[in-house]
Amino acid sequence: MAEILCIPESRTHLKKITKQISNYSNKSVAHIKLHVWAYIILPLLTIITFRFNFLGSTTSAVSTQGGAIWPWRADHARPFTRLIVATDQADTYYPWDVSVRRSLRNFHLPFWNHNSFGGTPLWTNGQPSPLYPPRLITSFLMGAPLQHDIFILFHILLGGFGMYFLCRKMKFQTAGSIIAALFWMFAPMTFAWMQFEFYLPILALLPWIFYGCVKLTQLLSDNKLNNVIARIKFVFPTVVLISFLQTMLFLGSNIQFVMFVMVPVAIYLFFAIFKIGFEKGSNVSKPERNILRRVIDSGFNSAIFSGVIAGITLLLSATAWLPIAIFASKSNRVDFTYDQFVGPTNIIPKDVFLKNTFWHLPYPYISTHLFQMTFMGSVAALFALLGFFNFSKKQRQNKLTYVRILTVSTMLIVIGTPLAWFIYSFVPGMHYLTALGRMLFLWTFALCILAALGADTIINSASKFAQQLIRK
């Protein structure tokens, strides 16, 4: 009898599951239709750009470097002179990749690198963690050269989609978002630094982290909950998303570059949440009497949310940063003084910065150019310039104001203005920084978003002009 009574209930449960699957399928189809051009253009141009990888060639510099260094040069089919600008991939990352791959395939945790000199610590070198998921997976599937190629393709494409969806979340048009994504994917900064495997997670995850931040602020702005705990529960999935992405960054990148990302993300979150709380507080009666209370409450809410995200991130990524912190605390490395930090070899001269923004770096390339990578393409720079000075009422002021601040502050830091003192004094690890130009990826990132606004401005102006011609 009990089994008979359970049949209608089972059918009801089955109908609910079927309905959920149907709704999910409909949403997926609608999502693909909405973003179909991005799903076509971004992968297609990635394949075209890196077509040599599909024809048997590799982006790895090991072979070329081997033809320039003894004793490998003696047996190399084509001896080279030392023309590679950045030899780090061949000299450093390739031995690390091989060591990690061998250890993981033997089911050992790779604490030590046996392939460089007499052996070096692998887990505490401040570089990508062996536990970075893409590295874990590819280490079991392929050799180091192919792994390097797959790393580049995967991260560039992931970063392109991140920039596209970030711009769409900021309500840019499809065309402008795709243009911004392409500028980010194929920026000179990308091609200059992609051989450094720690840069690839920055390229891939930075847009997605800000996507999560923008989504979080939108959710907080739309909900009417007043209790802090209730608000955290409401947006907790997004909080976990941001923390997870930052954890992946800790695992996959250089600890110094991670700090370059964490600081602007934390600043954006704190002030964006503060602004939301302050504006909501203005709805109470006699707001002029409650300004101090609104400031305190808004600051408290911002600190709570920022603290929760930071706490979850540090907890999840402890295997990456904690060994490095312990190792660094026991080392005798000498800090740079502030004068050395902003010395002539560490900063970018003002004239070089402005010139390189619109014109490509002079050939032949040298290692110094890696830290002067302000160039992102003349057309892209013009789009970004147009977006920077577009202060129309329709633009997203709450997001683009911060993007403009990020653009200007990055420039002021890398050219050695007093703003660099803030980085030197308050960002962990900056006392050892040898070139402020390392943070120029933030400059490129901000300009790509502004370029989306510039592209939207051009498209809208052209559309209005065409409509006027048709009416005439």
For residues 305 and 66, give the distance between their C-alpha atoms in angstroms, rounded to a whole number: 50
For residues 414 and 261, give the distance between their C-alpha atoms in angstroms, rounded to a whole number: 15
Q: Residue 219 burial by CB count (10 A; 0-12/13-18/19+): exposed, middle or buried?
A: middle
For residues 52 and 105, give the distance between their C-alpha atoms in angstroms, rounded to a whole number: 29
In this structure, are residues 128 and 254 in contact, taking their beta carbons and an 8 Å threshold? yes
In this structure, are residues 416 and 328 in contact, taking their beta carbons and an 8 Å threshold? no
For the chain, give the percent of residues with pLDDT over 70. Answer: 86
What pTM, to 2 d.p., does this model score? 0.89
Using pLDDT thresholds of 50, 70 and 90, give the confidence band for residue 284. low
For residues 452 and 178, give the distance between their C-alpha atoms in angstroms, rounded to a whole number: 8
In this structure, are residues 398 and 272 in contact, taking their beta carbons and an 8 Å threshold? yes
Output phi, psi for 391, to 5 deg. -110, 35
Using pLDDT thresholds of 50, 70 and 90, give the confidence band for residue 1. very low
Using pLDDT thresholds of 50, 70 and 90, give the confidence band for residue 397. low
For residues 191 and 439, give the distance between their C-alpha atoms in angstroms, rounded to a whole number: 15
- How confident is the model at residue 443, as a pLDDT? 95
Q: Which amino acid is at 380?
A: A
For residues 402 and 240, give the distance between their C-alpha atoms in angstroms, rounded to a whole number: 23
Structure tokens at 239: 């909080």
- How confident is the model at residue 172, as a pLDDT? 93
- How confident is the model at residue 298, as a pLDDT? 84
Going from the C-alpha of 449 to that of each of 10, 435, 455, the distances in angstroms are 51, 25, 10
Q: What is the mean pLDDT of residues 318-335?
A: 82
Of 136-145, 167-176, 438-447, where does mean pLDDT reach its minimum?
Answer: 136-145
- How confident is the model at residue 87, as a pLDDT? 75
Of the ranges 78-82, 404-408, 425-429, 431-435, which is most confident? Answer: 404-408
Which residue shows structure tokens 């409650």?
Answer: 290
For residues 169 and 262, give the distance between their C-alpha atoms in angstroms, rounded to a whole number: 21
- How confident is the model at residue 151, as a pLDDT? 92
- How confident is the model at residue 228, as a pLDDT? 77
Of 21-35, 57-71, 116-130, 284-298, where does mean pLDDT reach its minimum?
Answer: 284-298
Stronger pLDDT, 307 or 89, i.e. the higher one = 307
In this structure, are residues 173 and 456 in contact, taking their beta carbons and an 8 Å threshold? yes
**What mean pLDDT, rounded, does the chain reach?**
84
For residues 441 and 429, give the distance between their C-alpha atoms in angstroms, rounded to a whole number: 18
- How confident is the model at residue 407, as a pLDDT? 95
Residues ≥6 apart with Cβ < 8 Å to 266:
306, 310
In this structure, are residues 164 and 181 in contact, taking their beta carbons and an 8 Å threshold? yes
Chain-centroid distance, C-alpha 108:
30
pLDDT at position 376 over 80: yes
For residues 166 and 443, give the distance between their C-alpha atoms in angstroms, rounded to a whole number: 16
How many residues in the chain? Answer: 472
pLDDT tens, 188-224? 899 889 888 899 999 999 999 999 999 999 998 887 7
Q: What is the mean pLDDT of residues 9-13?
A: 66
pLDDT tens, 62-102? 777 766 665 666 666 665 555 556 677 877 888 888 888 88
Which helix (H) or strand (E) is 112 found in, with range? strand 112-113
pLDDT at position 14 over 60: yes
Output phi, psi for 195, to 5 deg. -70, -20
For residues 173 and 451, give the distance between their C-alpha atoms in angstroms, rounded to a whole number: 12
Of the ranges 21-25, 85-89, 135-139, 441-445, which is most confident? Answer: 441-445
For residues 157 and 160, give the distance between their C-alpha atoms in angstroms, rounded to a whole number: 5
Give the orientation angle of helix 228-252 with respect to helix 133-141, to 10 degrees.
40
Q: What is the mean pLDDT of residues 145-169?
A: 94
pLDDT tens, 35-64? 999 999 999 999 999 998 888 888 887 777
Burial call 152-190: b when 16+ CB within 10 Å, e when fewer: bbebbbbbbbbbbbbbbbbebbbebbbbbbbbbbbbbbb
pLDDT at position 154 over 70: yes
For residues 97 and 258, give the distance between their C-alpha atoms in angstroms, rounded to a whole number: 20
Instruction: Note the helical H segments in 170-227.
Output: 174-185, 188-193, 199-222
For residues 7 and 48, give the distance between their C-alpha atoms in angstroms, rounded to a whole number: 56
